[in-house]
Structure 1
């Protein structure tokens, strides 16, 4: 057991690197055709972003707006269609262009009507050339928008996974997270998802909500398990600037309404461990700090797509795209007025052939991204694959960081040779470990970003 003082466990959820707050306007506005020239395009990921929700949860800092004035969703899909045309042209025909996986995210993609979802699928297939019936297709939904007609469209078009944000099965906790919903409506939505026949159900839950106790957390876990979801994600609550909860609590000076930061950290860590142990005892395996999969569930991930190395095409004004040298997107904001302005500018755009906002990825950043996104998975990273890609060992490139992780007890000391893998403690501290691998330049850019 480590005797070194551990850092705070909840610092930053690292779902992509570099983080979007490190993106900046690209002065040269590079042409996408030039950026994609020479890139491998035979195992791409396709992501379509829908920035609309019926309500905005109090903890949410995603790029989304509440509702859509008349015809806005039509104008938005028109713009996605134009963007798809531009992007597909930029990919060229000099080599095979194939998508190995697809996802619709947001926001809430099922905010769209059933007919609009048909159009969204058509854009993915007829404009981009993705075969949605032949690749894993994941779609996010909410209890209010998981209607039978929408789910029917998604099932017919090849959706293999539906992810629903429940967060809590306790109505009082949902209200505390500024997520107005009734458990009865959540249960009805889950029944409709199961009736749709989509093979993988994922349920998102959150721990660390005001008033949540070990008993109520167990209640939500068991309520979710009653549906035998193939996947469960357990998220710690974060309170970010400009979110509803962030504005409410800005004057308290504490991490939660009545708690110190240290007390809130300890409570979240205890709830995480309780949730992890409960799921492991109920026939689930842990794939990352957040993700758990039922042991007998079908594996529906892409067979030949690796997020560390393969490219991504993002369509929509909140979507990111990745080449090996450039990550790019559109402007980012949390404030509702700013988001509305960005969406309006997106829907008025005619030429999507250039990258407007992003960050260049050099060899050092590529190494960091590979290590970070591999190490945060419970299976760990094979060092041979790293050496094959970069010509060096991770210990050569990140000796200081890996030595610190060892000192903190975050690396599994019993791992087999040729593998870097987190210990049980390291997985629990993933949100502290990830940021320690950020480069100085990315840290600086993130620190300079002004939330708006």
Structure 2
């Protein structure tokens, strides 16, 4: 148990394992793969559609997303034209397919003007066949970009969930991470969202911000709770390469863990259920409708320059960058790409059988549902203990509880999710991530 024990002695925030393998493990493929051939071999009855809008009004100090702050000239229009070309080529390549979920992320999708936002959502419905009333649709937003007109577009296009990146209700804390944001502007945006009657409101908040205390963190949570959001995501502050904070070399581990514990206690007391380390869902939240979808098993189609696509044996995307010069160069290449080029995957990661097993385990274990032994055996035709014997170390370390058919993280294990995820990465993926050349 040496590696797990060593990791547990370090930072609780070693890596957010929302996807495995991470994009820093992607590399140019030796030979481009035609999408029509790739998807002909895949299950396509329950796909996730993700559209990426890589633009923001500002670059936050903690942000390592693929996004361009304050794009100039005709870049946005040229990007949307390319998005339309890509959608048409990809839709033809994948053939008959059904979508179970859809999300529009970024960047900040609501950075777009209302007409452009309608264009993006219209592409999803008109070209991809993912429309209102049939599947859950989630859209990301920031307070300063929201207007009543944009929210009408979202509501008319069937948005069922709006995720608002507030990060903090304290103006000084927001400024400390290069996010000049007036609390009055946040409150105005929240009032507009409630008037638009989008069924589920999610608020993103960050703990561990420079200058933050446990008391000021709880004040932000109480401010959020006044709006009774159906969901809350509580994110620890990550200090990532090439971000403003990363270059400053700052860290706030002790505060983050204290904030997490106090925030968790508050939300549980307010009737929220903890779905994962980050996600809390209100008992009053509407039940999730739409066809069944399991991220461990079902694929994803990504459209846009920063979007990933997941087939069983290949994850692929455009190249990744954080620094604005690198992002700009990649975006220019995307915007000028001819339609036929969108029919090929040329950058990504080929998943070995070991990768596929580890992905299933990580994504199951770090969610509230836990890791089902029977689901694992059904998916891979083998026993979990034979394939990944190290999984038993989680019980030995007091991080998980074994039930009749599932392994679930306990309270201590959930708060160490950002240790357990990276611990389960394969040696090959770890090496690729460590060797990644940041741009």
Give the TM-score, by structure 2 length: 0.96
Q: How does 1:373-392 map to 2 (within 5 A)?
A: 373-392=363-382
- Rounded to whole Å, the distance in 1 between the matches of 2:212 and 2:71 is 33
Deviation at 1:403, TM superposition (A): 2.5
In the alignment, which residue of structure 2 is the partner of 1:368?
Answer: 358
Q: 2:58 pairs with 55, 58, 61, which one?
A: 55
Q: How does 1:187-266 map to 2 (within 5 A)?
A: 187-247=187-247, 249-250=248-249, 255-256=250-251, 264-266=252-254
- Rounded to whole Å, the distance in 1 between the matches of 2:363 and 2:135 is 22
In the alignment, which residue of structure 2 is the partner of 1:431?
Answer: 418
Deviation at 1:416, TM superposition (A): 2.8
Q: Is the 8 A contact 2:206 2:234 kept in 1?
A: yes
- Rounded to whole Å, the distance in 2 between the matches of 1:301 and 1:76 is 32
Q: Deviations over 1:1-54 (max 9, x none)?
A: xx9673321100111000000000012011111111121111110000000000
Deviation at 1:407, TM superposition (A): 2.2
Q: Deviations over 1:38-74 (max 9, x none)?
A: 2111111000000000011100000001112232211
SS of the residue 2:20 aligns to? coil
SS of the residue 2:104 aligns to? strand
Deviation at 1:132, TM superposition (A): 3.0
- Rounded to whole Å, the distance in 1 between the matches of 2:427 and 2:298 is 25
Q: How does 1:171-186 map to 2 (within 5 A)?
A: 171-186=171-186
Q: 1:420 pairs with 402, 407, 416, which one?
A: 407
Deviation at 1:382, TM superposition (A): 1.5
Q: Is the 8 A contact 1:165 1:205 kept in 2?
A: yes
Q: Is the 8 A contact 2:52 2:307 kept in 1?
A: yes
1:443 and 2:430 aligned: yes
Farther-moved stretch of structure 1 (141-150 vs 302-311): 302-311
In the alignment, which residue of structure 2 is the partner of 1:16?
Answer: 19
- Rounded to whole Å, the distance in 1 between the matches of 2:106 and 2:300 is 16
In the alignment, which residue of structure 1 is the partner of 2:150?
Answer: 150
Q: 2:71 pairs with 45, 68, 71, which one?
A: 68
In the alignment, which residue of structure 1 is the partner of 2:258?
Answer: 270
Q: 2:80 pairs with 58, 67, 77, which one?
A: 77
SS of the residue 2:221 aligns to? helix
SS of the residue 2:268 aligns to? helix
Q: Which runs of 4+ in 1 moved over 4 A?
A: none
Deviation at 1:378, TM superposition (A): 2.0
Gap change, CA 1:4 and 1:17, over 3 Å in 2: closer
Q: Is the 8 A contact 1:99 1:131 kept in 2?
A: no
1:357 and 2:347 aligned: yes
Deviation at 1:302, TM superposition (A): 4.5
Deviation at 1:301, TM superposition (A): 5.6
- Rounded to whole Å, the distance in 1 between the matches of 2:331 and 2:380 is 39
1:135 and 2:125 aligned: no
- Where in structure 2 are there 5+ consecutive unaligned residues? none
- Rounded to whole Å, the distance in 2 between the matches of 1:366 and 1:217 is 38
In the alignment, which residue of structure 1 is the partner of 2:395?
Answer: 406
Q: Deviations over 1:315-356 (max 9, x none)?
A: 000000011111000000001011001000000001211002
Farther-moved stretch of structure 1 (340-349 vs 389-398): 389-398
Deviation at 1:133, TM superposition (A): 2.7
- Rounded to whole Å, the distance in 1 between the matches of 2:436 and 2:99 is 33
Q: Is the 8 A contact 1:218 1:275 kept in 2?
A: yes
1:288 and 2:276 aligned: yes
Cα RMSD, aligned residues only:
1.3
Q: Deviations over 1:62-107 (max 9, x none)?
A: 0001112232211111101100111111112xxx411111000000
1:31 and 2:34 aligned: yes
1:109 and 2:109 aligned: yes
Q: Deviations over 1:382-419 (max 9, x none)?
A: 2111111111121111112x12212221102xx53111
Alignment coverage as a number of residue pairs: 432
Deviation at 1:142, TM superposition (A): 0.3
Q: Deviations over 1:132-178 (max 9, x none)?
A: 33100000000111111111100001000000011110111111122
- Rounded to whole Å, the distance in 2 between the matches of 1:217 and 1:164 is 17
Q: Is the 8 A contact 1:383 1:393 kept in 2?
A: yes
